[in-house]
Chains A and B, each alone.
Chain A
Amino acid sequence: MPKKIVIVGGGSGGMMVANRLARQLPDEIKRNEVEITLLSNTEKHIYQPGYLFIAFNEQQPEHFIRKQERIAHRLVNLVYDDVQIIDPGTNRVHGDKSTYSYDYLVIATGSHPDMNSIPGLSEGADNFYTLEGAEKLRDKLADFQEGKILITIDVPHKCPAAPLEITLMLDDYFRKKGVRDQVEIKYTYPIGRIHSLQPVADWGLPEFEKRNIDYETFFNLEEVDSKKKVAITMDGEEHSYDILISIPAHTGAKAVIDSGLGDEDGFIPTDRYNLKMEGSDDVYVVGDATNLPISKAGSTAHYQAETLVHNLISRVKGRPETARYSGKVACFLENSLEDASMITFDYQHPPKPATTSDMLHWFKSVYNELYWLNARGIL
């Protein structure tokens, strides 16, 4: 009987783990000593950072979408099924179509923006955290000639840099359209600075001041009145808008919540170094699905996948699991449609934004293409 490794979730983390395992265990898979099954509830693989560029019509949506079977390695058993229940007690995963037993399980079920997390949000707000939302926002921005754009942010949410990036890109977008003087851009943030990372706040604030971007801190959204076009905050104040771009609170996957594996937000308690689900030796968690207090981002999933795959291969080969996730994260910071900065950090080293340059924007554009090598487990 082969050792069965089942991966739930075909997004960045799940696909990278599956493909890296397949590339590093080809002989074992061919000898039927190991079987790698990737369960995906969608036939599309979407590069989610692309949403930011779709919103500004910088790229077509199709540019960021591939078919899963074009990405998955030929030695990965790719199955389209919608997992409903994960049962570590019996080492089984129950999908709509079938039940899958495993020796080792990797949960890569991601995080999901909840547009119903605040009353009135789904009716009154736009977003760029879904494909549909980014396309709708693109069309609204293209028609927008004057008025007020309000940006609100809730926690937890993936890609912590994106709200700041879209704000700076909006400024450039409307300058290029020649209507920036008629468009008021107001950015808000729940705590006392414009980003949770002090160095990133220090990087963005001078840009806000130089480019006449309004901002308000300690802004905690509680309700949206889409008829009056006002956002209402915890202190009862009403804030008007013509377009409300909202980054809603995210939750873990329904299957995680329904299986009772998540915390109050549906994220799985996970060891920060070995990435095992707390209380389990056979279940690993990767990417946004963990409850780790670090950025929910593709780069996090990538670096975690490197650790997790190394340990899984060691385990399959009867060797000790020695790799530890360092907490490494890397994020680009788009400053406009033309230039960018970037940060890297881990559990031990705080971030320090790189000098903003055209080059880093080009690097980001190149990475948007290189991603497909990452997803294939090559890079």
Chain B
Amino acid sequence: MRQVDFTKQVDARGTYCPGPLMELVKSIKRGQMGDVIELISDDKGSRVDIPEWVNKMGHEIANERLEGEDYYIAVRKMK
């Protein structure tokens, strides 16, 4: 259960709208290149749609792990 140093953590548990992925999009957009944003989500859909968006947009998954039902994903802004 490795963890990484992150620039900012966003706790999006218990949120449906705009939802965890939109919170990540917002944070990545505002961040600097190289920043690592760690997002926590309890929405099962996040395990699919967040990596899909990260890969599509050319950013990097620095770490991802499950703690119970909580999904932690750390994303490094690459551009």
Contacts and interface: CB of A to CB of B under 8 A. Distances in A.
Contact of B53 (A156, A160, A192, A295): A192
A191 B21 contact: yes
Nearest to A331: B17
B57 A293 contact: no
A264 B16 contact: no
Nearest to B48: A192
Contacts of B70: none
Nearest to B56: A218
A333 to B, nearest CB: 12
B56 A293 contact: no
B34 interface: no
Contact of B15 (A155, A218, A293): A293
Nearest to A350: B16
Contacts of B2: none
Contacts of A150: none
B14 A196 contact: no
Interface string A331-355: 1000000000000010110110000
Interface in A207-229: 218, 220
A351 B25 contact: no
A329 B17 CA distance: 9
A192 B14 contact: no
A183 interface: no
Nearest to B53: A191
B22 A155 contact: yes
B18 A160 contact: yes
Contact of B57 (A193, A198, A234, A329): A234
B10 interface: yes
A267 B4 CA distance: 26
Interface of B: 10-12, 14-23, 25-26, 29-30, 45, 49, 52-53, 56-57
Given A196-B21, A249-B26, 8 more contacts: A190-B22, A191-B21, A196-B17, A294-B17, A295-B17, A345-B17, A348-B14, A350-B16
15 contacts: A160-B17, A190-B22, A191-B49, A192-B52, A192-B53, A196-B18, A200-B17, A220-B57, A293-B11, A293-B20, A295-B17, A329-B17, A331-B17, A345-B16, A345-B17
Question: 5 closest A-B pairs (Cβ-Cβ)?
Answer: A347-B14, A196-B19, A293-B15, A196-B18, A155-B26
